[in-house]
Chains A and B, each alone.
Chain A
Amino acid sequence: MVRYDLIIVGAGPAGLSAAIIAAKQGVRTAVFDENERPGGQLFKQIHKFFGSREHRAKVRGFRIGEQLLEEARECGVEVHLNATVMGLYDKKEVLVMADGETHHFKADAIILATGARENFIPFAGWTLPGVMGAGAAQTMVNLHGVQPGSRVLMVGTGNVGLVVSYQLMQAGIQVEALIDAAPRVGGYGVHAAKLARLGVPFYLSHTIVKAEGTDKVTGAVIAQVDEKFQPIPGTEKHFDVDTICMAVGLSPMSELPAMAGCQMEDKGGAVPKVDACGETSIPGIFAAGDAAGIEEASSAMITGQIAGIAAARRLGYVDEEMFEAETDRLRASLQKLHEGMFSPQNRGRNDFTETDEGYPISQSLLHKGYMEDQEITRYPGAVSGKSGVHPVIECSQNIPCDPCQDACKFGCIRVGDEITRLPCVNEEAKCTGCGLCVASCSGQAIFLVDETYDEEHAAVTLPYEFLPYPQAGDKGVALGRDGREVCEAEVVSLKINKAMDQTALLTIKVPREMAMTARFFKKKEA
């Protein structure tokens, strides 16, 4: 039987981060993952991450995956792929299925970083081909380059539903609508706004009634729900879709700790009871990432590192002093992500009416996915009626994120140390119109507005992540935040360089009075 110091199950962001920090201390570490490729869910996450620089904010998920793999290779972590861990026993022995055979391995410490599975809700026709998890659709387009369908209904408006819907649109798939039984959008407003300005409608307080079709999905019926979440007869709506995606939550993969006899508890699904370092009730067995409680990839990387350093201490590779210093640093970093209205302790709450600073929260954003025109300048990131180019930041909730502040070398944007604070524009500082803030914003919530572009026109610069790119001189229409056509528009320029990491800056000119309304561009069909 092969022995290691540390065995990690799962090569997602949590498992790889744990492996790297432990191996750097000299711990002999092996990671097992059932997939052909490591990275867990990271390689399908093509959006720019939130957080701060220390959380690798504004870097796209799949690039973080590449960085982690490189670091793991450099510090000598053994990654075993196509290797499914079938059993875990309390003597820290694991049973692995690889190449159709079972193998036994033993270690002095184990970290379970097995991630999560998607939840599903049953409804009439839900087993038809064409009904699938949002993560399944994301896997098909982003990993394999195959469209799961051409017209999609998304069920669920949490961050996974919002992010995946946008990514489906980027791959040329039409998302017909997003629905949610809850009365408010569950995920970040900035993610919802990206979809709304493309014209994708939101139906809150709606549920799916049935999938139509005999051999595959040919349509979907939704209906409004009452306070008890029951469909209200007569409110049905039909959509011509060939795909229905469900993004109704994730559940931790917790079979292994249960099998080993770890004490379990219910935290949105069964999870092993863990201490502040992720150690379960069995000394030397740890859990990290989604397997210890559903969050997202940025925090999974930190809980992975905490478990990794704690395992290294247990094995005698780090002394108490270093352990304290490292865990203090990591916990502080995790705490930054855990502030604000979307923090884990506020899960399920959507009754906030004000931000931490006391600004009212846009009800339109929560109900329709976009802010009304007149709401924008309520927030400290937006001013209008200025001459010359200046940023308009449409980021109105306390989300853990601050790349905009880092991006501006001229001091125009300030979030502060508490990264869930709303970004503020400093009117004293002079904006050069460089556009770095627009490209850096993970929420695509920053626009540059020049209300004095010429006698009659304003120029609006917006983040653009679709193909084909419009060209200077192209004529078309500007869309408002609600996706409706608001005026004629002409492309002034399209800029893209390496620093922008695939977020192009599209500048359009529109009638001056549309400066605070025009937020997307659609080219006129020739």
Chain B
Amino acid sequence: MRVTEHPILGTYQKGRKVQFTFDGKSMEGYEGEPIAAALRAAGVTTHRYTTKKHEPRGIFCAIGRCTDCVMIVDGRPNIRTCITPLREGMRIQTQYGIEAKEI
């Protein structure tokens, strides 16, 4: 859920509303915010599954240090979604190991 009004920060400065897809589903977020923030606001918590044990991973550090949040963005794997800004029309996919599809 998004925080719309904050007692200290007031309203958050956000870019324009943009569309993107997550595993083919159309979603909305704000341009320039981290992909991970847009996904979390849209209810997505699992970003990837680990190679060997197929365990789910999501946001862990939120500042680009741990690589738990990496996904496939516009076809490129291993993108740290917590520090990569969202752009109009981005194609975001859950990452399985280093692939887009579960094998």
- A129 adjacent to B57 (CB under 8 Å): yes
Among A60, A131, A132, A144: residue with most chain B CB under 10 A: A144
Contact of B45 among A129, A145, A465 (CB under 8 A): A129
- Using Cβ atoms and an 8 Å threshold, which residues of chain B touch A144? 12, 33-34, 37
Bound together, the chains give a CA A117 to CA B8 distance in angstroms of: 26
- A170 adjacent to B45 (CB under 8 Å): no
- A147 adjacent to B7 (CB under 8 Å): no
Closest chain B residue to A84, Cβ basis: B64
- A131 adjacent to B40 (CB under 8 Å): no
Q: B2-45: which have CB < 8 Å to A?
A: 2-9, 12, 14, 33-34, 37, 40-41, 45
- B63 adjacent to A135 (CB under 8 Å): yes
Q: A80 to nearest B CB, angstroms?
A: 16
Chain B residues bordering chain A, tally (CB within 8 A): 33
Contact status of A467 and B7, CB under 8 A, knowing A130-B58, A139-B63, A148-B59: yes
Bound together, the chains give a CA A141 to CA B8 distance in angstroms of: 12
- Using Cβ atoms and an 8 Å threshold, which residues of chain B touch A34? 64
**Is A261 located at the chain interface by the 8 A CB criterion?**
no
- Using Cβ atoms and an 8 Å threshold, which residues of chain A touch B12? 144-145
- Using Cβ atoms and an 8 Å threshold, which residues of chain A touch B2? 145-147
- B61 adjacent to A129 (CB under 8 Å): no
Contact status of A118 and B61, CB under 8 A, knowing A147-B2, A147-B3, A170-B6: yes
**Is B1 located at the chain interface by the 8 A CB criterion?**
yes
- A216 adjacent to B3 (CB under 8 Å): no
Contact of B3 among A139, A145, A465 (CB under 8 A): A145
Bound together, the chains give a CA A127 to CA B40 distance in angstroms of: 17
- A136 adjacent to B59 (CB under 8 Å): yes
**Is A142 located at the chain interface by the 8 A CB criterion?**
yes
**Is A171 located at the chain interface by the 8 A CB criterion?**
yes
- B8 adjacent to A170 (CB under 8 Å): yes
- Using Cβ atoms and an 8 Å threshold, which residues of chain B touch A89? none
Number of A-B contacts (CB under 8 A): 100
Contact of B8 among A118, A127, A136, A502 (CB under 8 A): A502
Q: B36-56: which have CB < 8 Å to A?
A: 37, 40-41, 45-47, 55-56
Q: A140 to nearest B CB, angstroms?
A: 6
Contact status of A147 and B1, CB under 8 A, knowing A216-B46, A216-B56, A467-B6: yes
- A129 adjacent to B63 (CB under 8 Å): no
- A129 adjacent to B46 (CB under 8 Å): yes
**Is A335 located at the chain interface by the 8 A CB criterion?**
no
Q: B47 to nearest A CB, angstroms?
A: 7
Q: Could you give, for residues 463-489 of chain A, a 1 whenever the CB lies within 8 Å of some chain B CB and a 0 otherwise?
A: 001110000000000000000000000
Q: B56 to nearest A CB, angstroms?
A: 5
Q: A480-521: which have CB < 8 Å to B?
A: 502
- A502 adjacent to B7 (CB under 8 Å): yes
- Using Cβ atoms and an 8 Å threshold, which residues of chain A touch B100? none
**Is B62 located at the chain interface by the 8 A CB criterion?**
yes
Closest chain B residue to A501, Cβ basis: B8
Which range holds the interface residue count of chain A?
35 or more
Contact status of A129 and B34, CB under 8 A, knowing A146-B2, A170-B6, A465-B8: no
Closest chain A residue to B4, Cβ basis: A145
- Using Cβ atoms and an 8 Å threshold, which residues of chain B touch A133? 60-62
Bound together, the chains give a CA A139 to CA B45 distance in angstroms of: 16
Q: B73 to nearest A CB, angstroms?
A: 14
**Is A268 located at the chain interface by the 8 A CB criterion?**
no
Among B55, B57, B61: residue with most chain A CB under 10 A: B61
**Is B83 located at the chain interface by the 8 A CB criterion?**
yes
Q: B6 to nearest A CB, angstroms?
A: 6
- Using Cβ atoms and an 8 Å threshold, which residues of chain B touch A333? none
Q: A399 to nearest B CB, angstroms?
A: 21
Contact of A150 among B1, B8, B85 (CB under 8 A): B1
Contact status of A35 and B83, CB under 8 A, knowing A46-B8, A142-B9: yes
- A136 adjacent to B3 (CB under 8 Å): no
Bound together, the chains give a CA A215 to CA B68 distance in angstroms of: 14
Contact status of A140 and B61, CB under 8 A, knowing A145-B6, A150-B1: no
- Using Cβ atoms and an 8 Å threshold, which residues of chain B touch A136? 59-63
- B83 adjacent to A216 (CB under 8 Å): no
- Using Cβ atoms and an 8 Å threshold, which residues of chain B touch A216? 45-46, 56, 58
**Is A95 located at the chain interface by the 8 A CB criterion?**
no
Q: B58-103: which have CB < 8 Å to A?
A: 58-65, 68, 83, 85
Q: A255 to nearest B CB, angstroms?
A: 12
Closest chain A residue to B33, Cβ basis: A144
Bound together, the chains give a CA A466 to CA B7 distance in angstroms of: 5
- Using Cβ atoms and an 8 Å threshold, which residues of chain B touch A117? 61, 65
Closest chain A residue to B32, Cβ basis: A36
**Is A26 located at the chain interface by the 8 A CB criterion?**
no
Among A46, A128, A136: residue with most chain B CB under 10 A: A136
Closest chain B residue to A41, Cβ basis: B63
Q: B3 to nearest A CB, angstroms?
A: 5
Closest chain A residue to B53, Cβ basis: A127
Contact of B60 among A36, A60, A131, A145 (CB under 8 A): A131
Q: A423 to nearest B CB, angstroms?
A: 24
Bound together, the chains give a CA A192 to CA B60 distance in angstroms of: 25
- Using Cβ atoms and an 8 Å threshold, which residues of chain A touch B46? 129, 215-216
- Using Cβ atoms and an 8 Å threshold, which residues of chain A touch B7? 170, 465-467, 502
Bound together, the chains give a CA A348 to CA B2 distance in angstroms of: 37
Q: Which 7 A-B pairs have the closest CB atoms?
A: A129-B58, A136-B62, A145-B12, A144-B37, A139-B62, A129-B45, A146-B37
Given A145-B4, A146-B41, A147-B40, output 9 extra A-B contacts at Cβ < 8 Å: A35-B64, A36-B83, A129-B45, A130-B58, A133-B62, A135-B62, A144-B33, A146-B1, A147-B3
- Mark B residues whose CB is within 8 Å of A: 1-9, 12, 14, 33-34, 37, 40-41, 45-47, 55-65, 68, 83, 85
